[in-house]
Structure 1
Amino acid sequence: MEAFKNAAGKPILLHMVKAIRENKAFLGEVDGLIGDGDHGMNMAKGFTLFEKRMSEEISFSDGLDQLGTILFSEIGGSMGPIYGTIFMDMAAAAEDAEDIGLPLFADMLEAGLTGLQGIVEAQVGDKTLVDTLFPAMDTLKHGAEEAASFADTLKTMKTAAERGRDSTKDMVAKFGRSSRLGERSRGVLDAGAASCCLLLQAMADGMLELLEGESA
């Protein structure tokens, strides 16, 4: 069975940190078009704090829990609690698992989405990060059900996340500050959907590297 060691998951976390820090300006620009423009700054602040506090040896699930706690409690705006909830619930779903394969990672992402929908009412089509997160999770669940290759499914998930992100451009915002703009919010990507895509793709890239190492 294709899987990576949970205890060896620190590189995945570092991929996530790098993705947010390198795209701080991009996320700020996207958010600034229909929001208050602080999404990149807030996300970079949270991920930088996490990187500074990360222990030398940390598992993927423990790292997600620590990252989620920092974002939930120390980052302003709505995205801190949103991403904090997603990551903490993903970590809880892993329950100190020794190995993480496709079925477990699918369950982790599903737990994150379920946790998110426990605090916000956003659904697919509402121009939020749900439009990125749901299709990514759905791709993983289908892959797990079909006993597909973990690596191949991760690559498919990256594409699904991109399509989900891009779909928000033609939507009208129904939540957050941008919802006040109504039809004027159409034609612009949702910043949360953009950052969610970056994070999912970073996770996938980190996992693919670990899986390649396991098979070498």
Structure 2
Amino acid sequence: MGTVTSTDLTIDQLADWLRRFAGIVEQNKSYLTDLDSAIGDADHGANMARGTAAVVSHLDEANTVDALLKKAGMTLVSTVGGTSGPLYGTLLMKMGMATGNVTQLSTAEFARAFRAGLDGLIARGKTELGDKTMVDALAPALDALDASVADGAQWPDAAAAAAAAAAAGRDATTPLIARKGRASYLGERSIGHMDPGAASSTYLFDALVEVLG
């Protein structure tokens, strides 16, 4: 893995990002399943591990950023069960559609693409901040990333700020009542349990920090 410049994330580093995300998911699949067993189908960890492993198997097939992200998104849609596959898949596919036929991204370009991905996820999931979903981790992370870009932060600092905001958003799902997905059927019984999708979403930013470190 090459050293990241102050301005650009290369396609190889983006592939490393997805590879590292898969690794963190694999390491934490039992934890994610435990979270999901409390308020869901008890399969989030296994589903995500299977899907991200499939993504890794296709990473060498793309030579542009848009192709890499679109392929990763389509792979998640086809291999991850439940609602997570379509949501994560939409996130990455919309990111790819927003980047264009390039081989590297600046912090600003990555942030814009991620915003397009989040908008696509929100539209597909018909969810919003406070619904106790992955949006509760992703939205604050992206706001932090945008703020870092506006401040002219270098890549490692921008990624670290996003990761910290994602973790705070994830933790903030615990006292919420779930309003989307299977967890919403539990009503007030969903209070006191962290959302598993919010938990796995933070790994996207943990992986970015590791790649840039």
**Do the two structures share a fold, i.e. TM-score over 0.5?**
yes
| Count of residue correspondences | 208
Which amino acid counterpart does residue 90 of structure 1 have in structure 2? M
Q: Deviations over 1:111-148 (max 9, x none)?
A: 11110122122111110000000001111111222222
Matched, 1:184 2:178: no
Equivalent position to 2:34, from 26, 29, 45: 29
Which amino acid counterpart does residue 123 of structure 2 have in structure 1? G
Which amino acid counterpart does residue 70 of structure 1 have in structure 2? T
Contact 2:64 2:103 in 1 (8 A): no
Aligned partner of 2:15 in structure 1 is 10
Aligned partner of 2:144 in structure 1 is 139
The alpha carbon displacement at 1:87 in A equals 0.7
Higher relative contact order, chain-length normalized (CA < 8 Å, sep 6+) = 1
CA distance in 1, matches of 2:96, 2:135: 19
Matched, 1:203 2:191: no
CA distance in 1, matches of 2:170, 2:187: 19
Which amino acid counterpart does residue 149 of structure 1 have in structure 2? Q
Local SS of the residue matching 1:123: coil
CA distance in 1, matches of 2:47, 2:119: 24
Matched, 1:148 2:153: yes
Quickly say closer, same or farther: Cα 1:57–1:108, change in 2 above 3 A.
closer
Contact 2:8 2:106 in 1 (8 A): yes
Contact 1:8 1:60 in 2 (8 A): no
**What RMSD over aligned residues (CA atoms) do the two structures have, in Å?**
1.7
Aligned partner of 1:82 in structure 2 is 87
Which amino acid counterpart does residue 52 of structure 1 have in structure 2? S
Local SS of the residue matching 1:100: strand
Equivalent position to 1:70, from 61, 75, 78: 75
Which shifted more, 76-85 or 138-147? 138-147
Aligned partner of 1:92 in structure 2 is 97
Contact 2:62 2:68 in 1 (8 A): no
The alpha carbon displacement at 1:62 in A equals 3.0
Aligned partner of 1:19 in structure 2 is 24
Structure 2, unaligned runs of 5 or more: 1-5
CA distance in 2, matches of 1:96, 1:205: 25
Contact 1:7 1:58 in 2 (8 A): no
Quickly say closer, same or farther: Cα 1:14–1:131, change in 2 above 3 A.
same
Structure 1, unaligned runs of 5 or more: 210-216
Which amino acid counterpart does residue 189 of structure 1 have in structure 2? M
Contact 1:10 1:59 in 2 (8 A): no
Local SS of the residue matching 2:105: strand
Contact 1:113 1:134 in 2 (8 A): yes
Which amino acid counterpart does residue 202 of structure 1 have in structure 2? A
Contact 1:70 1:84 in 2 (8 A): yes
CA distance in 1, matches of 2:128, 2:102: 30
The alpha carbon displacement at 1:30 in A equals 0.5
